[in-house]
């Protein structure tokens, strides 16, 4: 997979970053985002569960062993790319599917974002807005900010890392669910947190 930049002048890019809250690839790479041990497995699992089409985002929360704890998908509304707006919608989805970890001194769970879009694998300002939104939403929900992954006609790519593959891609059919990682078992504790996770699992 190749990694590059969509055509844009430096001045325009800087202006957009200031106005719309974007993260450039260099800023993202310098942020110390934890690497996924098996990105292909994560991507294939999310693709099998949500079968995203272009303009669909999938937010997922992984435990320290990279097991999926919760996920949600939604379609991006037509509007200018703005990190603030993306942050708000990601935070709303996280609050819907999993309790926050704000009481912990150090985050133990990690949120990753898979975004299916048109175009090629090169970074765009829309990607920069999603990166900004993911990082801020994770901070506000007590999670570690994890990988940002694009799914295009060329395949999938973990932006800022240069890792990717040809399948799945934005037009591929989902793999049979039983070949992917099994859904996590429900937590043994009762209460509101368990109810949230049960509803999220039922919605997938």
The two tokens of residue 181 are 């990682």
Is 2 inside any structural domain?
no
State the DSSP code for 169: -
End-to-end CA distance of the chain: 30
Is 5 inside any structural domain?
no
Residue 87 in contact with residue 111, Cβ under 8 Å?
A: no
At 176 the pLDDT is 62
* 3 state SS of 114: strand
Is 3 inside any structural domain?
no
Cis status of the peptide bond prior to 116, with omega within 30 of 0: no
pLDDT digits (tens, 9 = 90+) for 76-126: 988 888 999 999 999 999 999 999 999 888 999 999 999 999 998 899 999
At 160 the pLDDT is 82
- Rounded to the nearest 5 degrees, what angle is found at the Cα of 87, between the Cα atoms of 99 and 203? 50
Is 181 inside any structural domain?
yes
CATH number for the domain harbouring residue 189: 3.40.140.10
The two tokens of residue 139 are 């901070």
Q: Which domain holds residue 137?
A: 10-203
Residue 53 has pLDDT above 50, yes or no: yes
Residue 153 CB neighbours (<10 A): 14
- Rounded to the nearest 5 degrees, what angle is found at the Cα of 47, between the Cα atoms of 113 and 197? 65
Q: Is the pTM of this model over 0.85?
A: no
The domain total for the chain is 1
Chain length of the chain: 204
Q: Region of 49 please: left (phi>0), alpha (psi -120 to 50) or beta.
A: alpha
Where do runs of H (alpha helix) occur along the chain? 10-20, 25-29, 39-50, 83-97, 125-141, 192-203
> Could you tell me how far CA 143 lies from the centroid of its own chain?
13
- Rounded to the nearest 5 degrees, what angle is found at the Cα of 74, between the Cα atoms of 126 and 185? 125
Is 96 inside any structural domain?
yes
The two tokens of residue 60 are 């997922």
Is 129 inside any structural domain?
yes
pLDDT digits (tens, 9 = 90+) for 136-154: 999 999 999 999 999 999 9
At 49 the pLDDT is 95
Report how far apart, in Å, the C-alpha atoms of 118 and of each of 34, 47, 62, 121, 124 are. 26, 16, 26, 9, 11
Is 89 inside any structural domain?
yes
Residue 46 has pLDDT above 90, yes or no: yes
At 105 the pLDDT is 87
């Amino acid at each position: 997979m190749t990694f590059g930049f969509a055509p844009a002048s430096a001045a325009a890019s800087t202006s957009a970053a200031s106005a719309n809250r974007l993260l450039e690839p260099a800023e993202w790479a310098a942020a110390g985002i934890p690497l996924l041990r098996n990105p292909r497995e994560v991507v294939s699992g999310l693709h099998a569960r949500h079968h995203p089409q272009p303009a669909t985002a999938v937010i997922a929360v992984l435990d320290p062993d990279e097991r999926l704890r919760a996920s949600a998908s939604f379609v991006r509304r037509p509007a200018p790319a703005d990190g603030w707006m993306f942050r708000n919608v990601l935070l709303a989805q996280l609050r819907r599917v999993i309790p926050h970890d704000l009481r912990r001194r150090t985050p133990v769970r990690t949120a990753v974002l898979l975004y299916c879009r048109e175009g090629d694998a090169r970074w765009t300002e829309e990607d920069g807005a999603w990166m900004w939104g993911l990082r801020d939403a994770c901070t506000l929900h007590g999670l570690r900010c994890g990988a940002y992954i694009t799914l295009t006609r060329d395949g999938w790519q973990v932006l800022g890392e240069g890792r990717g593959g040809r399948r799945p891609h934005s037009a591929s059919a989902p793999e049979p669910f039983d070949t992917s990682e099994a859904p996590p078992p429900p937590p043994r504790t009762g209460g509101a947190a368990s109810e949230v996770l049960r509803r999220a699992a039922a919605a997938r």
